[in-house]
Structure 1
Amino acid sequence: MSEQTIALVTGANKGIGYEIAAGLGAFGWRVGVGARDRERRETAVAKLRAAGVDAFGVPLDVTDDASVAGAARLIEESAGRLDVLVNNAGITGDGAQAPTSVDLATVRAAVETNVLGVIRVTNALLPLLRRSASPRIVNMSSGVGSLTRQTTPGGETGPISAAYTPSKTFLNAVTVQYAKELRDTGILINAACPGYCATDLNGFRGVRTPEQGAAIAIRLSTLPDDGPTGGFFDDEGVVPW
C-alpha cells in the first residue's frame, strides 16, 4: 500500500488557495491548510473535510519567522515529511502603485509576502521535502510578472504597478535560482500563472473562477519525475519570462 501524499498550501483558507487544497485533496492526499486567521482556517478545514478531503490546519504567517518555523514543526510531528508545497499566499499591496509616487512601505509589504515569504517557507520546509520520493514546489505567480508581456506593445498586463507586478517578476527570478540549485535533487520547482481570477485580491473583478485558477497549480503539483523544473506555466503552456 503506497504512502499517502502530504501537501501544504499557503493562503489556503479562501480563493485560489482553497481550490488548490480541494483539488489536491480529491486525489486522496492529506492537505495542510496554511493560513494566518484562525477562524477562517478552521472554517476552511471543516468545509474541506465535509467534502471528503483529509485536511488539517496549519497556523502560518509567511512573513513571520517564528510562525513558519512552527508550521514546519507541526508538519514534521504530524507527517514526518512533505511531498508538495504550494506557495500561494500573496498580497497586491495597498494604495496607488505608480512608481513616481508609490509609498515604499507598499513595495516592502508586497515583496515581504510575495517573495521573502516564499523563500522563508520554502527553506524551512526543504528538509521535509527532501524526505519525499517525488517532491514538488509550486510558486503561484502571475502573468503580469512576465517582462516579455510587460514590454510587448499592446500587451494586456494590468495597471502600472511598482509593488505587486515587480514582486511577481522577482518571484519568477527566485524560482529559476531555486531550480538551478536543486536541479540534481529530484525537487521540481515551477511558477504558475492562474489567470485573472475573481477573488477578493482584485475585488472579484477577475474573469476566471478560483477553481479554474487552481488547475495549473494542481497540474504542476503532480508532475512526473521527468517533468520540467524552473519553468513558468499557465493552462495554455509556457509563459514567456
Structure 2
Amino acid sequence: MHEHTAHQKVAMLTGANKGIGSATAEQLAELGMTILIGARNPRRGEQAAEAVRAAGGDAHPVTLDVTDPASAAYSPSKTVLNALTVQYANELRKAGILVNRRRPGYVDTDSNNHTGFLTTAQGAAVVGRLATLGADGPTGGFFGEGGPVPW
C-alpha cells in the first residue's frame, strides 16, 4: 500500500470495473495513485477495487451510473460531457485539479463486440499520461494517443 501524503494523486475513473477502465486503474495504481473505481454495479465495483488492492494498490469503489440522473446528475451525451469537462476544469483549476477527456482509440471491448485492434492496456495509456501531468499541465482538453484532439 502506498503512503498518503498531502500531494497524493487521486484518479476517479468511470467504468473502471472492466475493459479500458480496469486497465487504466491497474496502470495508475502502479504509479502510486489512489483509485476511485466508478461502476454502475456496486458488487463489480468492489471486486475491481479488491483486485487493485490485491496487487498492492489503493482503490475504493464508487457507485456511479452516468445514465442515471440520481447517480451522476447529467445525461451521457458527448456534447454534455465536453461541456462538463470544460466547466469542471474551470472550477477546479484553482484547486490544482486537472480535468481532461480522452479518446482511447478503437479498443477491443464489449461495446464493439471485441472488434477493436488495440488492447485495453493500449487504450488506457492515454489516461496514464493525462493522470501524471504536472500541476501546470493542460486542463479542459480532449486528448488521444497523438495529443490534443479537436472537440
TM-score (ref. length: structure 2): 0.80
Paired residue total? 146
Query: Which amino acid counterpart does residue 24 of structure 2 have in structure 1?
Result: I
Whether the 8 Å contact between 2:42 and 2:62 is mirrored in structure 1 is no
Query: Which amino acid counterpart does residue 103 of structure 2 have in structure 1?
Result: C
Aligned partners of 2:54, 2:124: CA distance in 1, in Å?
A: 20
- Structure 1 residues 5 and 187: alpha-carbon distance in aligned structure 2, compared to 1, 3 A threshold: closer
The answer for the alignment partner of 1:234 in structure 2 is 144
Aligned partners of 2:144, 2:30: CA distance in 1, in Å?
A: 21
Aligned pairs for 1:199-214 (under 5 A) are: 199-214=109-124
**How much has 1:44 moved relative to structure 2?**
1.7
Gaps of 5+ in 1: 70-110, 115-166
Aligned pairs for 1:1-241 (under 5 A) are: 3=5, 4-62=8-66, 63-65=68-70, 67=71, 112=75, 114=76, 167-241=77-151
Q: Secondary structure at the match of 1:43?
A: helix
**How much has 1:184 moved relative to structure 2?**
4.2
Q: Give deviations 1:33-69, integer Å, cap 9, x for gaps.
A: 121223322332232222222222223333243x469
TM-score (ref. length: structure 1): 0.53
Q: Give deviations 1:191-221, integer Å, cap 9, x for gaps.
A: 2111111111111111111111111112111
Aligned partners of 1:7, 1:54: CA distance in 2, in Å?
A: 11
Q: Give deviations 1:132-173, integer Å, cap 9, x for gaps.
A: xxxxxxxxxxxxxxxxxxxxxxxxxxxxxxxxxxx3244224
Q: Give deviations 1:2-50, integer Å, cap 9, x for gaps.
A: 6143332221110111111111110122222121223322332232222
Q: CA RMSD in A?
A: 2.5
The answer for the alignment partner of 1:146 in structure 2 is none
Aligned partners of 1:57, 1:222: CA distance in 2, in Å?
A: 21
**How much has 1:178 moved relative to structure 2?**
3.6
Gaps of 5+ in 2: none
Percent of counterpart pairs with the same letter?
A: 53
Query: Which amino acid counterpart does residue 197 of structure 1 have in structure 2?
Result: V
